[in-house]
């Protein structure tokens, strides 16, 4: 780990893509304070800042693993851009959840999805998707399943997950990353489509 600390961001990313997970840990350590401070000063809420911070690095991990990160010597601005976009997405989602136009044809007058018409076919497709997701989650190794369930079903932050499972935040993030990658792989191998 000592020798990794002196490497450039780009060399660390390359090493990470080759399976050296500690390289990403160095990147997180290198920039966590600056990224968290930026997020916190923008959203002014510690819990929300924690969540966006964690999502920022999960998204970075996924993007790098998918080979979509381009090496241009600008890792820090890239990670800031991810954080910025997640903040914007959060506020857009908040706004859309709190306001809904009654003029839109597909929205019923009470703005409640549970009162809108739903066909038997829609219900069957939704039930199948839920069953497929349950099967994918159950196919994961226990450590990955545990983190995924805590994050998405118990709505715990990665800090809480790390404390509950007695691991570092980086380990919790890594387990989440592998859970997502494994679910995608299993879904592809079994031709499971998880959208309606």
pLDDT band at 184, cuts 50/70/90? Answer: confident
Does residue 36 lie within any of the structural domains? yes
Q: Furthest-apart CA pair in the chain: how many Å? A: 62
How many domains in the chain?
A: 2
Please identify, among 99, 131, 152, the residue that sits at the C-terminal boundary of a domain: 99
Question: Are 87 and 6 contained in the same domain?
Answer: yes
Does residue 113 lie within any of the structural domains? no
**Domain holding 166: CATH number?**
1.10.10.10
Distance between CA 52 and CA 131 in Å, rounded? 29
Distance between CA 117 and CA 137 in Å, rounded? 30
Global pTM reads 0.54
Question: Are 66 and 153 contained in the same domain?
Answer: no
pLDDT, mean of residues 163-171: 88
Does residue 184 lie within any of the structural domains? yes
Question: Are 131 and 44 contained in the same domain?
Answer: no
Question: Are 79 and 128 contained in the same domain?
Answer: no
Buried b or exposed e, range 58-83, using 16+ CB within 10 angstroms: bebbeebbeeebeeeeebeebbbebb
Does residue 93 lie within any of the structural domains? yes
Distance between CA 1 and CA 14 in Å, rounded? 15
**Domain holding 90: CATH number?**
1.10.1740.10
Does residue 111 lie within any of the structural domains? no
Distance between CA 57 and CA 24 in Å, rounded? 10
DSSP string, 101-140: -SSSTTS-TT--GGGS---HHHHHHHHHHHHHHHHHHHTS
Q: Specify the pLDDT at position 79.
A: 92
Residue 104 clears pLDDT 50, i.e. is over it: no
The whole domain housing 72 covers 1-99
How does pLDDT run across 26-69, given as a tens digit for each residue?
999 999 999 999 999 989 888 899 999 999 999 999 888 888 88
Question: Are 91 and 148 contained in the same domain?
Answer: no
Does residue 107 lie within any of the structural domains? no
Residue 111 clears pLDDT 90, i.e. is over it: no
Question: Are 14 and 85 contained in the same domain?
Answer: yes
Sign of CA dihedral 156, 178, 129, 195: positive
Distance between CA 192 and CA 182 in Å, rounded? 13
Does residue 29 lie within any of the structural domains? yes
Please identify, among 99, 131, 159, the residue that sits at the C-terminal boundary of a domain: 99
Q: Are 82 and 56 in contact (CB under 8 A)?
A: yes
Q: What is the mean pLDDT of the chain?
A: 81
Residue 109 clears pLDDT 60, i.e. is over it: no
Does residue 21 lie within any of the structural domains? yes
pLDDT band at 102, cuts 50/70/90? Answer: very low
Please identify, among 47, 70, 99, the residue that sits at the C-terminal boundary of a domain: 99
């Amino acid at each position: 780990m000592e020798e990794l600390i002196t490497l450039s961001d780009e060399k660390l990313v390359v090493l990470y893509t080759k399976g050296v997970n500690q390289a990403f840990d160095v990147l997180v350590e290198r920039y966590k304070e600056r990224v968290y401070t930026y997020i916190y000063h923008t959203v002014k809420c510690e819990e929300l800042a924690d969540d966006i911070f964690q999502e920022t690095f999960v998204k970075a991990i996924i993007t790098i693993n998918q080979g979509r990160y381009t090496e241009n010597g600008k890792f820090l601005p890239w990670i800031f851009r991810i954080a910025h976009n997640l903040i914007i997405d959060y506020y857009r989602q908040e706004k859309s959840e709190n306001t809904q136009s009654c003029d839109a044809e597909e929205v019923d007058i009470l703005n409640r999805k549970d009162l809108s018409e739903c066909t038997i076919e829609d219900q069957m497709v939704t039930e199948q998707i839920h069953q497929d997701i349950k099967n994918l989650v159950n196919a994961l190794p226990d450590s990955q399943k545990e983190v995924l369930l805590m994050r998405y079903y118990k709505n715990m932050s990665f800090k809480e997950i790390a404390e509950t499972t007695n691991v570092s935040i980086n380990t919790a993030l890594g387990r989440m990353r592998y859970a997502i990658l494994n679910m995608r792989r299993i879904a592809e191998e079994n031709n499971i489509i998880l959208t309606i």
